[in-house]
Structure 1
Amino acid sequence: MALSFRHQPYLIVKYLRLIFEGADGKASISALTHYILGVAERLEEEFKAIIENTDLEIIPDVMSTLEQILTRGRKEGMEKGMEKGKQKERILHLLKTALKFPEMAAVDLADFTGLPQETVQDFIAITAKGDKDKLLKYVQEELLADIPLNAEEMEKLQELVEKLLAGTDR
């Protein structure tokens, strides 16, 4: 039933009881839960609320699968957030290091900051052009893509770029 309704996700939700009544064992329930989440266009939390409001006997098995999915999602989200934080720190570290040691070679800057050498070389080439707007755009759109900056961080970024292009660290 779930397969036949894959293009009409609202019907999957409507006939959830019938779909799960046909499940045979935990493996089948887990597979169905994963499949339904994939095609029913519902967030895990929304699906959880729908399941909680039914009187299916298999609710504990479905909820167990949902909790595993939610836990995995939270863990992956935290890991992505931590990686974005590390990337932000690497980029700010690159700016600060390039400011303090303007003659440092790209290979050394890359090693020191943990960034790929190609990224550092691109950064140095754009910095050498002396265009503040281009450098800010590069840092924000290329190096910090999908990493939000708060107002304080944005101000610090602009300050570092200005100092870097002015050739002074004071």
Structure 2
Amino acid sequence: MKHYLPGPMSRFLSLLPALPLLLGGCATLSDSPVQQLELHAVLDYREVAGVGCILNNDKGRWFVVVPGRVTVTRSSQPLTVTCKKDGMRIAQEVVGARADTASMMGNVVISAGLGQLVDRHSGAGYGYPAHVTVLMEAVNRREELAEQQRVESPVF
């Protein structure tokens, strides 16, 4: 007994095995929307422990005590890292997102760039460096103390 499928259905089923190849360039479908980062803080060429850092981009905000690891949501927008510890100035680093060239080429070839637009919006085709180092700076105690003790009233 022979099964017969109507024309459009048989064509669809014959293309089904090629579907993973067609969607392979789309990072939205193939890549994770999150990424793990390892953060470190450095003061005078030495690593500093116990520094609290807040990371944020247009997809959310995350907190980590460095050195440590944190999982963030990927985005095409930069990631801002702000760190603070007693006795040190607030430090800030901005880490740019980089496009994944493999998925970008797949998107251009397979979807004529349409997949790239989807990935840019979702952030799936982008990533941040796996290791981020924040440069800390010690508070200059003498200047800081003078600033705190300054009186703003005129002397007669």
TM-score, length of structure 2 as denominator length: 0.27
Higher normalized strand content (fraction of residues): 2
TM-score, length of structure 1 as denominator length: 0.25
Q: More relative contact order in 1 or in 2 (CA 8 Å, sep 6+)?
A: 2
Higher normalized helix content (fraction of residues): 1
